Amino acid sequence: MTLLSLVLILLALLTFVGGQLILKRAMESTVVHGLRQSRFIALLGCGIFLMTISFFLTLGLLQRFDLSYLYPFQGLSVIIISVMAAVMLKEKLTLQLTIGALLITAGVVLVSLS
Amino acid sequence: MRDRPSGFANPWLQLALSVLCVFVSELLLKRGASDTANPAQAWSWTGVTGLASPLVWLGIIFVIISFISWLYVLRYIPLTIAFPLSRVVDILVPLGCWFFLGEAISTRRWCGIALVVIGLAVTAKPVARLEERL
């Protein structure tokens, strides 16, 4: 694995996590204000943009590496998103949810190593 | 929070639909990406060369369907619960390869799958309490 692939893997992960958080924000705003508002459109566009970058970076990585090799990094997204949702979206991250996220991450990593 | 819709609009059903579409799209995208793999090509690191494969386009359709139902899920379910649950796809893919393609699953992989299942159960437990509150 070259430095470039590591950077691309991390970039794909970061854009994915950022996109998810922004999309969650966008959809939350629709609960109160509905779909026809500029804030929702802006957030949705921003989220889709980030997810698109992540999608094509992942596609490029899939051309180089096995799906199983890229899996641990996808697994990491579980714990990263849980923590970021708690920090940035002020969602309640209980001990139970943390343990669940850690178990899923460990399981995904184990699946990809075998 | 507003009343949670039932039937097809039920967010938990939409979460399952989203996961299923991601599962199908991952297999399609991997096949399509492998078919078109040519690292020597310029711009190949961006992944756009994968668009030459019809399987990738079919995969994109499934990605879009899963994306729309996922947006709907986000409206009703906290990310700390919905996202870990959506990773059930990480065990569906190896199980799908085992079931449909006859690939072998090692002991270590079964252990990993078991860990994910336990993790999902632990994560899903607060859902019962969440449902009571709604």
Of B39 and A12, the structure prediction assigns the larger pLDDT to A12
Cα–Cα dist B45/B67, whole Å: 24
Which stretches of chain B are DSSP H helices? 11-35, 54-76, 79-86, 89-101, 107-133
Q: Using one digit for the tens of pLDDT, what is the confidence trace for A60-103? A: 887 788 766 777 787 788 889 999 999 988 888 888 899 999 99
**From B30, B36, B48, residue closest to A56, measured CB to CB:** B48
Mean pLDDT, residues B29-36 taken together: 79
Contacts of A23 in chain B (CB under 8 A): 70-71, 74
Compute the distance between CA of residue A93 and CA of residue B77 in angstroms, rounded to an integer: 13
What average pLDDT does this structure show over B21-36? Answer: 83
A35 touches chain B (CB under 8 A): no
- Is the pLDDT confidence value at B1 over 50? no
Quote the tokens at residue B117.
Answer: 């299942």
**Selected residue with higher pLDDT from B43 and A75:** A75
Residue in this structure with the two tokens 């990593």, named with its chain if needed: A109
Task: Tell me the residues of chain B between 75 and 134 that have a Cβ less than 8 Å away from chain A.
Answer: 75, 78-81, 83-84, 87, 90-91, 93-94, 105-109, 111-126
Total residue count of chain A as it appears in this document: 114
Q: What is the CA radius of gyration of chain B?
A: 18
Please work out, in degrees rounded to the nearest 5, the angle formed at the alpha carbon of residue A112 by the alpha carbons of A107 and A113: 100
B3 φ/ψ sector (left φ>0, alpha ψ -120 to 50, else beta): beta
Q: What is the mean pLDDT of residues A26-54?
A: 89
CB B81 within 8 A of CB B130: yes
Q: Say if CB A13 and CB A81 are below 8 A apart.
A: no
pLDDT of residue B128: 64
How wide is the angle at C-alpha B73 spanned by C-alphas A72 and B62, nearest 5°?
Answer: 65
Q: What is the mean pLDDT of residues B5-13?
A: 84
Per-residue pLDDT at B26 exceeds 60: yes
Asked whether the predicted pLDDT for residue A59 surpasses 60, the reply is yes
Q: Give pLDDT tens digits for B72-113.
A: 999 988 898 899 899 888 888 878 777 766 777 888 889 988
Give the residue-averaged pLDDT of B18-22: 94
Higher pLDDT, A46 or B89: A46
Indicate the residue type of B31.
R
State the pTM of this model: 0.79
Residues of chain B contacting A26 with CB distance shorter than 8 Å: 71
Exposed (0-12), middle (13-18) or buried (19+): which is B81, by Cβ within 10 Å? buried
CA A98 to chain centre: 16
In the 8-state DSSP scheme, what is residue B110? H
Closest CA to A85 of B16, B111, B83: B83
Mean pLDDT of chain A: 87
**Quick check: A63 and B30 CB within 8 A?**
no
Q: Classify the C-alpha dihedral A96-A98-A104-A110 as positive or negative.
A: negative
